[in-house]
Amino acid sequence: MKKILTLAVAGLMAAGPAMADLVFPSLSYRTGPYAAGGIPFADGYADYFTLLNERDGGIGGVMTSVPECETAYNTERGVECYESTKGEGALVYQPLSTGITYQLIPRVTADHIPLHSMGYGRTSAANGEVFEWVFNYPGNYWDSASVIVNYLLSQNDGSLEGQKIVLLYHNSAYGREPIRTLEVLSEQYGFELVQLPVDHPGQEQGNQWLTIRRERPDYVVMWGWGVMNQVAVQEAANIRFPMDHFIGNWWAGAEHDVMPAGDAADGYLSLNMNGVGDLPVFDEIREYVVDRGLAAGDGSNIGSVLYIRGMYAAMLAAEAAATAQEIHGVAQIDATMMRDGMEALNITEERMDELGMHGVGPAFQVSCANHGGPGMGRIQQWNAADQQWVTVTDFIAPDDSVTQPLIDEDSAAFAAENDITPRDCSN
């Protein structure tokens, strides 16, 4: 009996991360309707930390671990995953779900663990004075809505007056996020905004595309995720909507979103927060991770849009951890120190070059007050013949004069609702 108990305890210890590791839990979804997007992101996130372990011996000499917990993009399961992993010494959470993010905000605030909702989640979390433990750099939904409109302005000689733009959105917390910004922008630039929601999961959009065909909009902007994206691209092709006037946000621009439609998807546009193309770091991932049989997947996702984004997220977390080690002068940091590292994060062009990630994102600096980053994005276009995305613009900046007042207003309302006194970040 004693032997069995000893073995059981040893097994449990082996199954969880060693307490001396730097722990970056991954609330992933490799099953369910949204798995196609969840898998490459989770692979990129895990592979980058494995690369750091194999190549550099971890971060600052401390090995990293990435315990995965399957959420299936389900909010309740996401919360369960958080609760079951936070005791393992978690430094930062990256749930890849706006619904889960909303549920975790009060919990991480109480538990003092940073939450990084990279380009998703609650947009007003960009205000670090109110959301002390939540970060959404390098951009948020309102930034991306503004960037898309700025791109459209550039395509129309600076005027969208009298034009009609349809917002086709996932009828969820995620999909509804850009509406306020687009409403403000429609008033500012004089375009008509038509809102068309699509219910989860988005398999059926026949009525929405009949409406689009009748409305004859100048542009369709899509806030989709999962199967909604593939169906929308196919339906757009079916009604012969011009693909170069159909623009997805940065969660509607992966390879698997366009490939099911085949050649008909050629020319489809989407925003992207990260660069695409071959990066030197991929060779290192292949050498240190894939060839050693340590990859999270089979290596086939390397280089895809969402793999790069997962890897980019891991890089930002690792750089923040290194910054925290530097600030506090210790290698074994805790979640509070990690928060300090995230607030002092400074991503430069030189650093991205050093890491073999030239142009993977914009250079930016996080601060106590600004947890949102620069909010920049690039427009990419699908080339169906070569089956690859082609970047067609440089990084485009959002219009802060539009987004910042909305962020201030929403975060102030959140602070009032939750009895939060905003921090003073002036020092």
Partner 1 sequence: MPDNLIFAMEVTLNGLMTGVMYALVALGFVLIYKASGIFNYSQGVMALFAAMTLVGIQEGRVPFSHLINAIFGTSLHNFAWNSVPALLAILLTVAVMVLFAWAVQKFVFGHLVGQEPIILFMATIGLAYFLEGMADLMWGSEIRTLDVGLPQGLNTVIDDTTYGWFGYGFFIDNLDIVASIVAALLVAGLVAFAQYTKQGRAMRAVADDHQAALSVGISLNFVWILVWSLAGFVALVAGIMWGSKSGVQFSLSLIALKALPVLMLGGFTSIPGAIVGGLIIGVGEALFEFAVGPMIGGATENWFAYVLALIFLVFRPQGLFGEKIIERV
Query: Phi and psi for 203 in degrees, rounded to 5?
Result: -70, -30
Residue 3 makes contact with partner 1 by CB under 8 A = no
User: Residue 161, class by beta-carbon neighbours within 10 Å (0-12 exposed, 13-18 middle, 19+ buried)?
Assistant: exposed
Residue 203 makes contact with partner 1 by CB under 8 A = yes
The tally of CA atoms less than 13 A away on the side-chain side of residue 128 is: 21
Radius of gyration of the chain (CA): 21
Residue 346 makes contact with partner 1 by CB under 8 A = no
Tokens, residue 398: 């959002």
- Contacts to partner 1 from residues 29-58, by CB under 8 A: 30-36, 39
Q: In terms of CB distance, is 155 or 387 closer to partner 1?
A: 387
Residues facing 90 on adjacent strands? 23
Q: In terms of CB distance, is 195 or 383 closer to partner 1?
A: 195
- Contacts to partner 1 from residues 274-303, by CB under 8 A: 293, 298
Q: How far is the CB of 222 from partner 1 (least distance, A)?
A: 15
Q: How far is the CB of 9 from partner 1 (least distance, A)?
A: 27
Residue 353 makes contact with partner 1 by CB under 8 A = no
Residue 383 makes contact with partner 1 by CB under 8 A = no
Q: How far is the CB of 35 from partner 1 (least distance, A)?
A: 4
Choose the binding region for partner 1 from 105-113, 258-266, 314-322, 406-414 (rule: CB under 8 A).
Answer: 258-266
DSSP strands (E only) in 245-329: 246-248, 269-272
DSSP annotation of 292 reads T
Query: Per-residue x/- marks for partner 1, 109-138, CB under 8 A?
Result: ------------------------------
CA 265/CA 269 separation, integer angstroms: 9
DSSP 350-391: HHHHHTT-TTSS--EE--SSB-S----BEEEEEETTTTEEEE
Positions in the binding site for partner 1 (CB under 8 A): 30-36, 39, 171, 195-199, 201-204, 206-208, 210, 213-214, 226-227, 230-231, 234, 237-240, 256, 259-260, 262, 264, 293, 298
